[in-house]
A and B are shown apart, each in its own frame.
Chain A
C-alpha cells in the first residue's frame, strides 16, 4: 500500500518537493498522449459520477419526502351515526403503530381533491361534483414507519363502519423500485468506469517508470529511499486525477445550476413542483466529491504501478 512514512514527509525539504513536482510534470509531458488518454478517462468517469450522484441524491430526497407523506385513508360508511364514528375512532386508536388520526369531513375532502388536481384549471368543471359530493367522511392515519401502512390498512379493513381503505401502495412502491434499480445500474457502471481510469493511469505511469528504470536502479543503488523514488510518480497520478476532475466539476456545476433554476421557475406557476437540493449546497458537495474521487483514483493508479519497481 502507499504508506509514506511520517518521518520522510516531515523530513522532506522544500527543494526536494520542488524536484519531485518538476519530475512529475516532465514525465507527464514526455508521455503526452497517454497522459491525455488517462485524463480523459478520469474526466468521462467523473462526469458520469457527477450526473449519477446529482440524480441519485435528488431522487433520494424526493423519495424521502414522499415516504414521510404516506398515509392510510379510512372512508367511513355513510350510514354510520356520530356515535358509531366515535366508536370507529376508538378502535383505530387501539391499532398498533398508528401515529396520528385526523378527521376529514366530506366537504373538506372534496376541496382538497379539487385543489390537488389543479388550481389554474377551470373550477366550473367540478361544479357538478360539488353539488353531489361522492366522497364519504374519512379518518386519515399516519403510521410510525412508512412500511407499516400495509399491515395497518389490512387491520382497518376488518373493522365495522369502514367503507373503504386507501393507501398510496402502487406509486410509492414503484418509486422505490425505480430508485433502487437505477442506483444499482449506476453503481455498476461507475465502478466499471472508475476501474478503467485506474487501469489507464497505472499504465501511463508504468510507461514513465519503464522509461526510467535505469534511473530508479541507480537511485536505489546510491541509497535513495523508496519514498523518494515514489514521490514523482505519486504526484503524477495525483495530477492526472485532479486535472481530470476539473472539466467534470465545471460541467456538473453548470448543468445542475440550469436544471435547478428550471425546476424552481416551474415551481412558481405550477402546483406540481419538485424541490431539488439547492444549487449552492449541491455544487459544494459535488465539486469536493469529484476532486476527492479523482485524486483517489489517480493515487491508486500510481501506487499500483510503482510497487513492483521498487524491489531493487
Chain B
C-alpha cells in the first residue's frame, strides 16, 4: 500500500536528507524507523504525508503518486493518513473532546457521526473520563493519547508517528505503544520513527534503519541495533 521508488530529497539549503530510498510497506504492517539523529527519519516521515515533496522519485500511497498530485488533491490524501507528533500539536483552548472533534469538523463530518466517533476513539485511548479536560490539565502521556485519538478518528488506512514517545517516561511510552499495537490489530498500517530501544527490541516488528538518508538495514522482527 506504501511504496517509495528511488526517492531523493534535498532541502533548499543544500542538505541531502534522503538519498535514494526504495521501500515497500504492506497493508497492516507495523514498521519502526530507526537511526541516529540527523539520519533523515523525520524527512522520510514528512514525505509520507506530503508536508514536503521529494526532489526526485515516486511515493505511492494506495497507488497514488504523492509527488504528482495537485495541491487541491492533498486534502483527500491526508484524510487517508493519520499523523502523530512528538509535541502532540493539541489546541490549548479546546477540551480533549473538542480537540478530537475538531479534526472531524474541519472535514465536514456529520455532527452525529462526530459525537459517536469521538467517544469511540477516546475509549480506545482510555481517556473517556477526561473528555472535558483541557490539554494543560493532562500529563504528557495523556496528551499524546489525545493526539493519537485525533489521528485515528477519521479511520485512516495508515498512521504515521514521528517520535511519539520522545518526551515521555518509560511507563507512558509503553502505554502509548500498546495503543499503537491495538490500532495495528484493527488492520491499520503503522509507521513510526523512534529512538526508543526498549520498545523496538521488545516488540519484534519490522525495523528499517536509516543512516545518511539511506536504508542501511531492513529486518522483519528486527532489533533497535544501536548502542545506547
Chain A residues packing against B (C-beta within 8 Å): 5, 12-13, 15-16, 19, 214-215, 217-226, 228-229, 312
Q: A16-B108, A222-B78, A223-B107 are in contact. List 4 more A-B contacts (CB 8 A).
A: A19-B105, A219-B102, A222-B106, A223-B106
Q: Which residues of B contact A223 (CB under 8 A)?
A: 75-79, 106-107, 154
Report whether B78 and A220 are in contact in the complex, using a CB–CB cutoff of 8 Å. yes
Contact partner, B111, options A15, A215, A225, Cβ 8 Å: A15
Given the known inter-chain contacts A223-B154, A226-B72, A312-B51, please indicate yes or no for A214 contacting B78, CB distance below 8 A: no
Q: Which residues of A contact B72 (CB under 8 A)?
A: 5, 225-226
Report whether B108 and A222 are in contact in the complex, using a CB–CB cutoff of 8 Å. no
5 closest cross-chain pairs (CB), A and B? A223-B78, A223-B79, A224-B106, A222-B103, A223-B75
Report whether B106 and A214 are in contact in the complex, using a CB–CB cutoff of 8 Å. no
Task: Confirm or deny: B89 has a beta carbon within 8 angstroms of a beta carbon on chain A.
Answer: yes
Given the known inter-chain contacts A5-B72, A13-B108, A16-B108, please indicate yes or no for A222 contacting B150, CB distance below 8 A: yes
Report whether A222 and B91 are in contact in the complex, using a CB–CB cutoff of 8 Å. no
Q: Which residues of B contact A218 (CB under 8 A)?
A: 89, 91, 102-103
Q: Which residues of B contact A15 (CB under 8 A)?
A: 111
Please measure, in the bound complex, the distance between the C-alpha atom of A111 and the C-alpha atom of B89, giving whole angstroms. Answer: 90
Minimal Cβ-Cβ distance residue in B for A312: B51
Q: Which residues of A contact B79 (CB under 8 A)?
A: 222-223
Please measure, in the bound complex, the distance between the C-alpha atom of A228 and the C-alpha atom of B107, giving whole angstroms. Answer: 8
Report the minimal beta-carbon distance from A8 to chain B, rounded to whole angstroms: 9
Report whether A224 and B107 are in contact in the complex, using a CB–CB cutoff of 8 Å. yes
Q: Which residues of B contact A221 (CB under 8 A)?
A: 49, 78, 83, 89
Task: Confirm or deny: B186 has a beta carbon within 8 angstroms of a beta carbon on chain A.
Answer: no
Please measure, in the bound complex, the distance between the C-alpha atom of A19 and the C-alpha atom of B104, giving whole angstroms. Answer: 13
Task: Confirm or deny: B13 has a beta carbon within 8 angstroms of a beta carbon on chain A.
Answer: no
Task: Confirm or deny: B71 has a beta carbon within 8 angstroms of a beta carbon on chain A.
Answer: yes
Minimal Cβ-Cβ distance residue in A for B83: A221
Q: How many of chain B's residues touch chain A, expressed as a range? A: 20 to 34
Contact partner, B154, options A5, A16, A222, Cβ 8 Å: A222
Please measure, in the bound complex, the distance between the C-alpha atom of A16 and the C-alpha atom of B91, giving whole angstroms. Answer: 20
Please measure, in the bound complex, the distance between the C-alpha atom of A83 and the C-alpha atom of B127, giving whole angstroms. Answer: 115
Q: Which residues of B contact A19 (CB under 8 A)?
A: 105
26 contacts between A and B (CB under 8 A): A16-B108, A214-B91, A215-B91, A217-B89, A218-B89, A218-B91, A218-B103, A219-B106, A220-B75, A220-B78, A221-B83, A222-B78, A222-B150, A222-B154, A223-B76, A223-B78, A223-B79, A223-B106, A223-B154, A224-B106, A224-B107, A225-B75, A226-B72, A228-B106, A228-B108, A312-B51
Please measure, in the bound complex, the distance between the C-alpha atom of A39 and the C-alpha atom of B147, giving whole angstroms. Answer: 39
Q: Which residues of B contact A224 (CB under 8 A)?
A: 75, 106-107
Please measure, in the bound complex, the distance between the C-alpha atom of A100 and the C-alpha atom of B76, giving whole angstroms. Answer: 74
Minimal Cβ-Cβ distance residue in B for A7: B72
Please measure, in the bound complex, the distance between the C-alpha atom of A221 and the C-alpha atom of B108, giving whole angstroms. Answer: 14
Please measure, in the bound complex, the distance between the C-alpha atom of A34 and the C-alpha atom of B150, giving whole angstroms. Answer: 34
Please measure, in the bound complex, the distance between the C-alpha atom of A250 and the C-alpha atom of B213, giving whole angstroms. Answer: 66
Minimal Cβ-Cβ distance residue in A for B79: A223
Minimal Cβ-Cβ distance residue in B for A227: B72
Q: Which residues of A contact B111 (CB under 8 A)?
A: 15
**B72-94 contact mask (Cβ, 8 Å, vs A): 1 or 0:** 10011111000100000101000
Q: Which residues of B contact A229 (CB under 8 A)?
A: 106
Minimal Cβ-Cβ distance residue in B for A229: B106
Please measure, in the bound complex, the distance between the C-alpha atom of A224 and the C-alpha atom of B78, giving whole angstroms. Answer: 8
Q: Which residues of A contact B105 (CB under 8 A)?
A: 19
Contact partner, A214, options B89, B107, B150, Cβ 8 Å: B89
Report whether B49 and A222 are in contact in the complex, using a CB–CB cutoff of 8 Å. no
Minimal Cβ-Cβ distance residue in A for B91: A215
